[in-house]
Amino acid sequence: MATNSRSFPPRFVWGVAAAAPQIEGAVNVAGKGESIWDRLALRPGAIHGGDSLAPACDHYRLFKKDFALMRWLGVKNYRLSLAWPRIYPQGDGPLNRKGLDFYHRLFDSMAENGITPWVTMFHWDLPQSLEDRGGWTDRVTVDAFARYADTIVSEFSGQVKNWITLNEIRCFTQLAYGPTGRKAPARAVSPQLLNQTYHHAILAHGQGVRAVREHGGKGARVGLTDNSDICTPLFENAADIAAARQWFRRRNEHILGAIADGRYSAAYLRRCGTDRPVVAKGDFDIISLPTDFLGLNIYAGTFVRAGRDGSPEEVAINATYPKADSSWLHWHPQCLYWGPKLAAEIYGHKTLYITENGCGYNDDTPNDQGEVLDLHRREFTRAYLRELHRGIGDGVPVKGYFHWSFMDNFEWEDGYTRRFGLTHVDYKTQKRTTKLSAHYYSEIIRANRIF
C-alpha cells in the first residue's frame, strides 16, 4: 500500500461502536435486573446532574430506526454490547428468556440492514446482585461470567461471529474499586483486593475465550478490548523509542503481559509484594488461551522520553494543551500510530482493531438550519486516522477501526454532558440528527480513504 495515497487496505473494517448501558434505556423492562450503574445513579452526587441510564437513547425501542440510519450512512460493522442483567437479572440466577429474545430481534434487524455485529460480552454493567456478593473482588463473579458467556455464545452462534470478551478492564477494576474510583460501584478496596480484581478480570476474559471455542461454531472469532496505557516517544529517535517501549511494557504487564505470557512477571509480583493476587491452579491455562485479535480503545496517552540513565521519563502536558471537553482527553493523534505498534511488537499480536476512538464535547447543538457542524470532531478524526494510516503503511497489523460513538449517549459519571456521537440525540424528543462528522466518516467508509 502506498503510504501517501491515504487509501486503506482492501477489506479494511470500518465501523461504529456503542454499549448497552449507555444507549438502551428500558432499565427495568421485560425482566431486566438492576446493574451497578443503575444503583450508582441513585447515589447523590455520583452522576453529574443526577442523571440516570433511563431513557438514555431509548435504543431498546428505537433500534430499527437506528440501524436504518447506520445503513443510510454506509456503516456495515457495529460494535455493541449485551446487557448482562437483561439476560441474567441476578447475574447467576434464573435466565431471562425475554432478554435473549430482544437481542435476537436486534441481530435480525442488523442483518436486514447489512450490518455485521461485533459483540462485547461485558461493558461494565455488572448485575448488582453479584456486586452485593463482592463483585470483581470475588471469584463468584468469574464463575457467573463463565455461565453467562456459555449462554450467549451458544444462543447467538448463528447470528454473531465476532466476539469481544471484556471492555476496558482498568475501568471496571482500577477506576471502580481503586482509592479514587468514580465508576460503578465506586467502592474503594484494599490494594490486595484491587490486584485481585485485575486477576479475576483476566480470568473472566479467558472464560469468554473458552466459551467461544466451545460454542461459537464455524468461523467464530474472539479477542479482548483493552484500554492499554498508551505512550508515544517525545522524539522518534532510538533512545526515546526504547524508553517508550519499556514504559508500555511495564504499565500493561498485569493485563496484556499476563495474558500473553501466561504468568505474572517477576517484576510485577515484586511491586505487589504482600498485596499480590491469589492465583488458583490452572488459572493461567485459561487466561492464556489464544485469541484471534486484540482490540485497542485509544483516545490519548503519555509523552515519554529517555531520562539521563535511559529509563522512561514522562513529559507532562501543560494547561493550555489542546483537549476535548473531557479533561482526560487531550489531542494526541500519534497514539494511533504508537499504541498499536508497541502492542504488536511487544506481545506479538498479528491482528489488531481500533475498537474505540473518538472525542467528547458538550457544545454539539443544532444550528438554526438544524445542522450540527462539529468541525472539532471532524478534524480530530482526520488527524487520528492519518496516524493510523501511517502505522499501517509501516506494517502495523491494524485491520479495522470503530468510531466511538455512533450517537450521543449516557457518558457514565459525566451523565449526558459529554457528547461523543457522530449522531446528535435530543434526549427530550429522541430525535436523531447526523452531524457533520457523520457525513465525513460516511465518505471515508465509502471511499476507504481519508479526505
- Catalytic site positions: 168, 356
β pairing state of 77-81 and 398-404? unpaired
Q: Which of 406, 326, 393, 397 is nearest to 79 (CA)?
A: 406
Tally the residues of the chain. 451
Which run of H or of E encompasses 24? none
Cβ atoms of 66 and 59 closer than 8 Å: yes
Neighbouring residues of 71: CB distance < 8 A, sequence distance ≥ 6: 113, 114, 115
For 116, 127, 147, 311, 323, the CA distances from 54, given in Å and listed in that order, are 27, 16, 28, 48, 29
Cβ atoms of 436 and 378 closer than 8 Å: yes
Cβ atoms of 89 and 135 closer than 8 Å: no
For 172, 256, 324, 357, 399, the CA distances from 343, given in Å and listed in that order, are 21, 9, 25, 16, 14
- Tell me the backbone φ, ψ of residue 325, rounded to 5 degrees: -80, -10
Three-state secondary structure call for residue 127: strand
Neighbour-count burial of 271, counting CB atoms closer than 10 A to its CB (0-12 exposed, 13-18 middle, 19+ buried): middle
- State the Cα–Cα distance between residues 413 and 300, nearest whole angstrom: 19
Neighbouring residues of 271: CB distance < 8 A, sequence distance ≥ 6: none
Beta-bridge mates of residue 305:
313
DSSP string, 293-359: EEEEE-S--EEEEE-TTS-EEEE---TTS-B-SSTT-B--TTHHHHHHHHHHHHH--S-EEEEE---
Cβ atoms of 405 and 37 closer than 8 Å: no
Supply 79's cell numbers: 460494535
- How many alpha carbons lie under 13 Å from residue 310 in its C-beta half-sphere? 5
Output DSSP code: residue 16.
Answer: E
Which run of H or of E encompasses 212? helix 191-215
